[in-house]
Amino acid sequence: MTRIQDIIKKSNVAVITGGASGIGLAAAKHFARAGMSVAIADLGGDRLAAAADELKAISGEEHVLAVETDVAQKDSLEALERTVIQRLGRVHVLMNNAGIGPETSIFSAQANWDSLLGVNLLGVINGVRTFGQHMLSHGEPGLIINTGSKQGITTPPGNPAYNVSKAGVKVFTEALEHELRNTEGSKISAHLLIPGFVFTGLTKGDRAEKPAAAWTSEQTVDFMIESLERGDFYILCPDNDVARDLDERRMAWAMGDIIENRPPLSRWHKDYSDKFKTYLEQKE
């Protein structure tokens, strides 16, 4: 198995979408400190420029590239790839991390559905389909990391378009890893990052200070790197409020809806919510 240290190292190149803030910027800083050349892609020129300045302070201007990119548009990602290869060289780490979270309901405005699915799901698919073939063909070890969500697994009520997008990322990344490991000569592996509660621009709302329950982006990236070193595909992150065993039990209950023929989302169903609470209290 390829060691992560053989990929995240000096002279190699990392590309991170959604790289101007949050988990994406924390990952970009980690890669830069490891000696990698880093390209961040995002929308919002001033924010992107400020993030690039932070990275340049770590690794120098010649090793940093910041490109405004709309991940929902494949031609925008194709332009990003051409620029990265021309300026920095072939890519070894691709982190499809761009994400948005406008509120939706089943019958809410089409625009929010379109933008959310375009960024969160198509952005990942477009990123892999744009960069992945060249990553395979250069023959060097590499990583593709796609940012999912626990909401794509337990699918709680409240924002169906977000849940659909992240469930799609899970399914797509599983299929990607299957294909990569069955491609002759492939030295590329795929991984699904499943953050816990992380204090980022997407989650903070009106809060100015990090809630005690939340992890920082840096903690999340540290956990991601530790998981990659173990060779984990599912990078299931805890936080300060939810430990892994609780996540596992919530996910097992969600799968039980199918196996036991319960109503969907039975955790939140009036006839099953008390049973779910009792289930959580049971000891193994």
Please give the Cα distance from 19 to 36 (Å, whole number).
15
Distance CA 277, CA 129 (A): 42
Beta carbons of 71 and 101 less than 8 angstroms apart:
no
CB atoms within 10 A of CB 6: 12
- For the annotated catalytic residues, the residue numbers are 162, 166
State the residue for tokens 């499943």.
194
Is 273:267 a contact under the CB 8 Å cutoff? Answer: yes
Q: Which residues, including other chains, have CB under 8 Å from residue 165's CB and lie 6 or more apart? A: 116, 117, 119, 120, 121, 152
